[in-house]
Amino acid sequence: MSGLAPIVVVGGGIAGLATALGLWARGVPCVVAESAREIVPLGVGINLLPHGVRVLTELGLAEALAEVSVETRAIEYRSRDGRLIHSDPRGRHAGMAFPQLSVHRGNLHTVLYGALLDRHGDDAIRPGLRLRSVERRGGFVHACFEDRRHGGEVRLDTEGLIGADGVMSSVRAAMRPGEPPPRGSGIVMYRGLTWARPMLDGRTMVIAGVHEHKAVLYPVRPPRRDGLQLINWVAEHGERFGGDTTAGDWNRPVDRAEVAALFADCRFDFADVPALVRAAEVCLSYPMVDRDPVDSWVDGRVALIGDAAHPMYPIGANGSSQALLDAEAIAECVAASPRDLPAGFAAFQARRLETVNAVVLANRARGPEKLLQLADERLAAGAPADGEPILSGETIDTVTSAYRRTAGFERESLASMSARPRLWPPTRSDATPRPGP
Ligand SMILES: Cc1cc2nc3c(=O)[nH]c(=O)nc-3n(C[C@H](O)[C@H](O)[C@H](O)COP(=O)(O)OP(=O)(O)OC[C@H]3O[C@@H](n4cnc5c(N)ncnc54)[C@H](O)[C@@H]3O)c2cc1C
């Protein structure tokens, strides 16, 4: 870079904040422009796969995350009536170099936001700036924002702009005018958090049911003093009710009683889903959407990452982990090509596009949750004989290892990544620049 203007990262969500931390840690100045007037912890539970945790560990955030998350021991796939189909050990419990973590998105966001402010100062992020337009002229990008805090407009001129502005990305809309809205799957996800007695061993995620009627349950915080643990639940149903659900609105409340009634059959010996729903602190709805994969996320000096580039169904816990891998890759590619941002962005795309597009499609085909459908068909054909498993080890292995390979978290690749050095704290004094005036 010529030193004229920091890179502009549009969107201070998971991908945007991780990108900013990664750029600064590699000596590349940037500023995050976030639409929200105030940065507050939002969302419910989120899962971080070992490769996502690796990125956060290298950014020096492992200790802060460990305090607010649960190290997932296993994912248990269960039938509609709660019978165990398969227990899939996760992260270090599967011999990987990094854990899988379940965490409240708000806590994850706070860890990233706090690190950005501590390390690079308040000017590293500008809340209240909502992107309106992007123009490219010569070797510059001119980004125009509505200033939601002070009114009026703010223009930021930069040599490179990274669109990390989520599923309804304005950067993407500018890059791909006329693109249709995200594609609905017909499934609505009812999501919430409830303090309850720990489920199973307090470190297990359960996915029970079938695609069109399923409960996903996992704890997101260590138990508090009274022994209760914050349980994240997602109740997914293939029939819309209660009005419109809109992509991009992550905070849409919905009536607990209606959701509890819809999942009245999900009373298992390890968890009573309707009771969890009724006692929830928050109860939200969100449509399960994605977009068709595209063959480019980069247009010269503008690049897309995270949900802006590749929104995907939240199957296989990949959304935030793939966003973190994007963040790492774009920061590395830009730092490797500081005087030629288009080349850096192109290298980022070459590294990530094909892999992530495959994950989007694998999730559309239900990823590892194919096991639920196969088990349901098997059980519909008659109960297995005593001692016989619902699905054979071979079937389970075929489904789960194919998905691990597609999503890039098979044991071998994660083990070989474990030797990478931490980016933070820095070893060189010049690795901590602060935003310029
Ligand atoms: C409020 C909120 C709650 C969420 N809750 C959950 C959850 O509970 N579980 C889950 O699995 N996933 C949740 N997600 C989505 C999840 O964070 C992402 O799927 C994933 O982590 C990828 O992150 P991302 O940074 O690409 O997108 P996001 O985390 O969605 O971040 C996008 C950011 O861009 C900002 N933005 C959008 N438009 C503009 C604009 N025009 N100008 C400037 N900034 C803009 C948004 O305010 C947001 O901060 C939530 C997202 C948001 C925004």
Instruction: For residue range 341-388, list pLDDT tens digits in order.
Output: 999 999 999 999 999 999 999 999 888 889 999 999 999 998 888 888
User: Does any ligand 1 atom lie closer than 6 A to the CB of residue 13?
Assistant: yes
Q: How far is the CA of 37 from the centre of ligand 1 (A)?
A: 14
What confidence category does residue 420 fall into, taking pLDDT thresholds of 50, 70 and 90? confident
In whole angstroms, what is the distance from residue 238 CA to residue 244 CA?
14
Closest-CA residue, ligand 1 atom 5, reads: 43
Q: Which of 21, 31, 34, 231 to mutate to test the pocket of ligand 1 (most atoms within 8 A of CB)?
A: 34
- pLDDT-based confidence at residue 166 (cuts at 50, 70, 90): very high
pLDDT recorded at residue 428 = 57
The predicted structure's pLDDT at residue 411? 67
User: Once rounded to an integer, what is the mean pLDDT over residues 87-114?
Assistant: 94
Q: How far apart are CA 176 and CA 158, in angstroms?
A: 20
Contact (Cβ atoms closer than 8 angstroms) between residue 102 and residue 207: no
The alpha carbon torsion through 75, 76, 81, 85 (nearest 10 deg) reads: 130
How far apart CA 281 and CA 193 sit, in angstroms, is 6
pLDDT score at 287: 86
Q: From ligand 1's centre to the CA of 323, what distance in Å?
A: 10
d(CA 140, CA 349): 20
Using pLDDT thresholds of 50, 70 and 90, give the confidence band for residue 309: very high
Start-to-end CA span in the chain (Å): 17
Model confidence at 60, pLDDT cuts 50, 70, 90, reads very high
pLDDT of 123 over the 70 cut:
yes
* 241, pLDDT greater than 50: no
What does the alpha-carbon distance between residue 71 and residue 50 come to, in Å, rounded to a whole number? 10
CB 258 within 8 A of CB 243: no
Instruction: Identify which has the larger pLDDT, 420 or 302.
Output: 302
The SS3 assignment for 234 reads strand
CA trace torsion 71, 75, 76, 80 (10° rounding): 120
Is residue 296's pLDDT more than 70?
yes
- CA–CA separation, 404 and 420 (whole Å): 21
Instruction: Write down the pLDDT at residue 201.
Output: 95
Look at 10-19, 87-96, 191-200 and tell me which has the smallest mean pLDDT. 87-96
Q: What is residue 99's predicted lDDT score, i.e. its pLDDT?
A: 95
In the predicted model, what is the mean pLDDT of residues 224-237? 94
What pLDDT, on a 0 to 100 scale, did the predictor assign at position 251?
81
Q: What is the pTM assigned to this prediction? A: 0.93
CB of 128 closer than 8 Å to CB of 150: yes
In ligand 1, the atom with minimum distance to the C-alpha of 326 is 26
**Cβ neighbours, 10 Å, residue 392:** 12
Alpha-carbon span 292 to 290, nearest angstrom: 7
d(CA 318, CA 46): 9
pLDDT above 50 (res 159): yes
**CA atoms of 241 and 237, how far apart (whole Å):** 10
Q: What integer best gives the mean pLDDT of the chain?
A: 91
Q: Collapsing DSSP states into helix, strand and coil, what is residue 47?
A: strand
Q: Is the CB of 326 under 6 A from ligand 1?
A: no
In the predicted model, is pLDDT for residue 410 greater than 80? Answer: no
For residue 273, pLDDT over 50 is answered with yes
Mean per-residue pLDDT, 236-262: 76
Q: What is the pLDDT of residue 13?
A: 97
Q: Strand 7-10 and strand 213-219: pairing?
A: unpaired
Residue 4 confidence (pLDDT): 55
pLDDT(418) > 90:
no
User: Whose structure tokens read 């590293």?
Assistant: 124
Q: Is a pLDDT exceeding 80 seen at residue 243? A: no
Which numbered atom of ligand 1 lies nearest the CA of 309?
26
Residue pair 191/39 in contact by the 8 Å Cβ criterion: no
CB-facing half-sphere around the CA of 392: CA atoms within 13 A: 3
For residue 171 the two structure tokens come to: 């950067």
Q: Is the pLDDT of residue 239 over 70?
A: no
Residue 43 has pLDDT above 90, yes or no: no
Residue 416 reports pLDDT greater than 80: no
**Alpha carbon nearest to ligand 1 atom 51, residue:** 250
Query: In the structure, what pLDDT confidence band is assigned to residue 147 with cuts at 50, 70 and 90?
Result: very high
Mutate to test the pocket of ligand 1, among 48, 55, 165, 324 (most ligand atoms within 8 A of CB): 165
Does position 6 have pLDDT exceeding 80, yes or no?
yes
- Per-residue confidence band for 437, with pLDDT thresholds at 50, 70 and 90: very low
